[in-house]
Amino acid sequence: DSGVTQTPKHLITATGQRVTLRCSPRSGDLSVYWYQQSLDQGLQFLIHYYNGEERAKGNILERFSAQQFPDLHSELNLSSLELGDSALYFCASSVGGTSGYTFGSGTRLTVV
Amino acid sequence: GESVGLHLPTLSVQEGDNSIINCAYSNSASDYFIWYKQESGKGPQFIIDIRSNMDKRQGQRVTVLLNKTVKHLSLQIAATQPGDSAVYFCAEIFYNQGGKLIFGQGTELSVKP
Average pLDDT of span B71-96: 92
pLDDT confidence tier of residue A41, bands split at 50, 70 and 90 = low
Decide if B87 contacts B109 (C-beta within 8 A): yes
What is the per-residue pLDDT for B4?
52
With a cut of 70, say whether residue B7 has pLDDT above it: no
A7-27 residues labelled b (16+ CB within 10 A) or e (exposed): eeeebebeeeeebebebbbbe
B66 three-state secondary structure: strand
With a cut of 50, say whether residue A44 has pLDDT above it: yes
Report the mean per-residue pLDDT for chain A: 92
Q: Do A101 and B34 touch (CB under 8 A)?
A: yes
What is the per-residue pLDDT for B45?
92
What's the residue count for chain A? 112
Q: What is the DSSP letter of A85?
A: G
Chain B residues closer than 8 Å to A2 by CB? 43, 45
Q: What is the DSSP letter of B9?
A: S
pLDDT tens-digit series, residues A49-104: 999 999 889 889 999 999 999 999 999 999 999 999 999 999 999 876 555 689 99
Amino acid at B20: I
Size of interface A-B (CB pairs under 8 A): 68
Average pLDDT of span B54-60: 96
Amino acid at B103: F
Interatomic CA distance for residues A95 and A97, integer angstroms: 7
pLDDT tens-digit series, residues B84-113: 999 999 998 877 777 778 888 789 999 998
Q: Do B93 and A50 touch (CB under 8 A)?
A: no
Name which of B106, B104, B110, B107 is nearest B5 in CA terms: B104
With a cut of 80, say whether residue B5 has pLDDT above it: no
Q: Which residue out of B100, B102, B107, B108 would a mutagenesis test of the A interface target, given it has the greatest number of A Cβ atoms within 10 Å? A: B100
In chain B, what are the helix, strand and coil shares in percent, each to the nearest 5? Answer: 5, 55, 40
Q: Measured at the alpha carbon of residue A15, what is the angle toward residues A11 and A17, in degrees to the nearest 5?
A: 70
What is the per-residue pLDDT for A98?
56
Q: Which residues contact A14 (CB under 8 A, 6 or more apart)?
A: A81, A111, A112
pLDDT confidence tier of residue B2, bands split at 50, 70 and 90 = very low
